[in-house]
Amino acid sequence: YLTDPAKKDYLLLTDENTQLRFAGDFTGWAADYKLFASHQEAQFKKTKITRISPEAIIGVPFLISAGANNDIYAAITEADLSDYAGMYLAKGEEEGINTLVTKLSPLVTGKGRVRIRPGTFSPWRVVMVGDSPGRLIESEIVCNLSDPCEIEDTSWIRPGISAWDHWWSADVKMDTKTIKQYIKLAADMGWEYMIIDWHWYGPPFMPGEDYKANPDADITRVTPEVDMPEVLGYAGKNKVRLILWLQWEHADKQMDEAFALYEKWGIAGVKIDFMARDDQDMVNFYEKVVKKAAENKLMMDFHGAYKPTGLRRTYPNLITREGVLGNEYNKWSDLVTPEHNCTLPFTRMLAGPMDYTPGAFINRTAEKFENAIPAQVMTTRCHQLAMFVVFDSPLVVACDHPDQYYNKKGIDFLKVVPTTWDDTKVLSGEVGEHIVVARKNADGWYIGAMNNSLPRKIEVIPEFLGEGEYRLHFFKDGPDANSHAEDTREGEIIIMKTDTIQIEMASGGGYAAYLLPVN
- Cβ atoms of 150 and 315 within 8 Å: the answer is yes
Q: What is the pLDDT of residue 413?
A: 98
* Of 203-217, 327-341, 426-440, minimum mean pLDDT range: 203-217
CA distances from 129 to 41, 134, 350, 433 (A): 25, 11, 12, 20
Distance, CA of 305 to CA of 286 (rounded, Å): 10
Q: What is the pLDDT of residue 118?
A: 83
Contacts of 9 (CB under 8 A, 6+ apart): 1, 2, 3, 117
Q: What single letter denotes the amino acid at residue 276?
A: A
Query: Residue 448 forms beta bridges with which residues?
Result: 437, 512
Asked if residue 135 has pLDDT above 50, the reply is yes
Residue in 375, 284, 278, 386 with CA at minimum distance from that of residue 336: 375
Q: What is the pLDDT of residue 7?
A: 53
Largest Cα–Cα distance of the chain, in whole Å? 71
Confidence of residue 68 (pLDDT cuts 50, 70, 90): confident
Confidence of residue 450 (pLDDT cuts 50, 70, 90): very high
Cα dihedral across residues 325, 330, 336, 338: positive or negative? positive
Per-residue pLDDT, averaged over 359-379, amounts to: 97
CA distances from 514 to 236, 417, 450 (A): 30, 8, 15
Helix (H) or strand (E) holding 456: strand 456-460
Q: Is 404 helix (H, G, I), strand (E, B) or coil?
A: helix
Distance, CA of 294 to CA of 275 (rounded, Å): 20
Asked if residue 109 has pLDDT above 90, the reply is no
Confidence of residue 228 (pLDDT cuts 50, 70, 90): very high
Through-space distance between the first and last CA atoms of the chain, rounded to whole angstroms: 70
Asked if residue 210 has pLDDT above 90, the reply is no
% of the chain surpassing 70 pLDDT: 98
Per-residue pLDDT, averaged over 464-492, amounts to: 98
pLDDT in tens, 396-438: 999 999 999 999 999 999 999 999 999 999 999 999 999 999 9
Confidence of residue 172 (pLDDT cuts 50, 70, 90): confident
Confidence of residue 170 (pLDDT cuts 50, 70, 90): confident
Distance, CA of 359 to CA of 345 (rounded, Å): 17
Q: What is the pLDDT of residue 2?
A: 43
Per-residue pLDDT, averaged over 247-264, amounts to: 98
The model's pTM: 0.97
Q: Is 127 helix (H, G, I), strand (E, B) or coil?
A: strand
Contacts of 151 (CB under 8 A, 6+ apart): 157, 294, 315, 316, 317
Provide the 10 A C-beta neighbour count for residue 71.
11
Query: Residue 369 forms beta bridges with which residues?
Result: none
pLDDT, the chain, mean: 96
Q: Are strands 114-116 and 9-13 parallel, antiparallel or unpaired?
A: antiparallel
- Cβ atoms of 215 and 174 within 8 Å: the answer is no
Distance, CA of 211 to CA of 248 (rounded, Å): 12
- Cβ atoms of 35 and 57 within 8 Å: the answer is yes
Q: Are strands 241-247 and 114-116 parallel, antiparallel or unpaired?
A: unpaired
pLDDT in tens, 300-324: 999 999 999 999 999 999 999 999 9
Quickly list DSSP for 313-352: HH-TTEEEE--S--GGGGGT-S---HHHHTTGGGTGGGGS
- Cβ atoms of 298 and 270 within 8 Å: the answer is yes
Q: What is the pLDDT of residue 1?
A: 44
Distance, CA of 356 to CA of 400 (rounded, Å): 13
Q: Which has more confidence, 92 or 480? A: 480
Residue in 415, 417, 405 with CA at minimum distance from that of residue 360: 405
Buried b (16+ CB within 10 A) or exposed e, 350-360: bbbbbbbbbbb
Per-residue pLDDT, averaged over 222-237, amounts to: 98
- Cβ atoms of 334 and 442 within 8 Å: the answer is no
